Amino acid sequence: MEEKNQKEKIAAVVVTYNRKGLLKECLDALLNQTRPLDSIILIDNASTDGTPEFLKEKGYLDNPKLDYVRLPENTGGAGGFHEGVKRGYEKGYDWLWLMDDDTISEKNSLEYLLEIAFLNLNINIGFLCSKVLWTDETPHKMNLPQINPFVNKIPFNIFEGYEILLVNSCSFVSVLIKKDIIKEVGLPIKDFFIWGDDLEYTSRIRSKNYVGVYVRKSKVIHKTKINYSANDNIIDCTKHFYGTRNNLYIKRQKGFFNFLIHFTFEFLNTFHINKNLRNSHLKGLFASLFFNPKIDYVKDNKH
C-alpha cells in the first residue's frame, strides 16, 4: 500500500490573487510535505501586487516543482480552479490537491489524506478533505463540510474508528481528488467566478454515487483576517451577488420545486440582511433565474 502511494503522481493546485505574503507561506508548507508533491500548479489570476516579481525574487520560479501560470485576466477562484484542474489532468497527475493561496498546510496534511485514500474501506471515495482551522486553531466557519446522517445511504460516522467522517460536500480549502473522478464529472464551473464552485463540484462528485471523506488528522490553517462564514453579513457586495446567484443555481439543479422554495425564502429574507447588501441580494436572485453555466469536460490524452 505504501509503495503504491509513493508511485502516485500528485500535484497541488493553488489559485492566487494579490496575496503574495500568504502565498509564500502556502508554497513553503507545500514544499515541505512529509509526502513530497510532484508539482505545484500555481494559477495567478492576473495579480496586480507584483506576484510574478516576488516569485522570481524569492527563487520560486527556479524550482522545477513550481508550474506557474499567469492568466491574462482575473477569472475568480472558480476560473482559477477550472484552469488548474484542467492543467493537472492534462499533465497526467493521478491526484490533485486543491487549495486557496491563504491555506497553510501542516507538514503531514497530504500524507494523512493519502493514508485514508489507500485504505480498503469498500466505498467509492470521490474526494478527501482536511480539517480546516482558523489561526487560533478553532474550526473555520467557512470551511465546515456538509454532513447528513447518511451519505449515499451510508451512515456518516461508520468509519469513525479511522478518525474520518463521510460528507456530502466541502470547500476548495484542502481537498484531494483523483484523476479518474475528474474525467467522469468534468471540471469546476468557471462561470461561477467566486463562491459556490466548490460546493457545486463536490456535490456533483457525490451525485455520481461517490462519497466524500473528512480526514480529521489532516489539518490546514485558513488564514483569513477573521473567522467567518458565507452567511455572515460582513462580506462585500460582489461576493454576496455571486454567492446568492450560484447557490440558487445549485438548488435549481435539484428540481424546480426545491429552487422555488429557496428562491422564495431568499426573497423574503432580503429585508433581514445588512441593508448594504440588499441590492446585490436582489440582483443575485434575479440572475439565478437565467444563469445556465456550461460544465466543461476534459479530453482524453495519452495518460
Cβ atoms of residues 196 and 250 within 8 Å = yes
Q: Which amino acid is at 64?
A: P
Q: Report the amino acid identity of residue 118.
A: F
pLDDT, residue 207, reads 94
Burial of 144 (0-12, 13-18, 19+ CB in 10 A): middle
Q: For residue 244, give the amino acid letter.
A: T
Report DSSP letters for 68-79, one per residue: EEE-SS--HHHH
> pLDDT value at position 300?
74
Q: Which long-range contacts (CB under 8 A, 24 or more apart) does 228-237 make?
A: 228/141, 228/142, 229/141, 229/142, 229/144, 230/142, 230/195, 232/141, 233/273, 233/274, 233/277, 235/277, 237/276, 237/277, 237/279, 237/280
Contact 174, 96 (CB under 8 A): no
For CA atoms 9, 14, 20, 21, give the dihedral sign. negative
Q: Where in the chain are the domains?
A: 2-222, 237-288
Grid cell digits, residue 298: 476534459
pLDDT of residue 278: 93
pTM: 0.94
Among 157, 176, 182, smallest CA distance to 299 is for 182
Residues of the chain with pLDDT under 70: 1-5, 231-234, 301-303
Residue 149's CB is within 10 A of a number of other CB atoms, namely: 7
Alpha-carbon distance of 135 to 194, in angstroms, equals: 23
Distance CA 288, CA 246 (A): 7
CATH code of the domain made up of 2-222? 3.90.550.60
**From CA 23, how far away is CA 20, in angstroms rounded?**
5
What's the pLDDT at 233?
Answer: 58
- Between CA 83 and CA 78 the distance in angstroms is 9
The C-alpha angle 280, 284, 290, rounded to 5 degrees, equals: 150
Phi-psi region of 8 (alpha: psi -120 to 50; beta: other; left: phi over 0): beta
Place of cell 497526467: 92
What b/e readout covers 49-82, taking b as 16+ CB neighbours within 10 angstroms?
A: eebeebbeeeebeeeebbbbeebeebbbbbbbbb
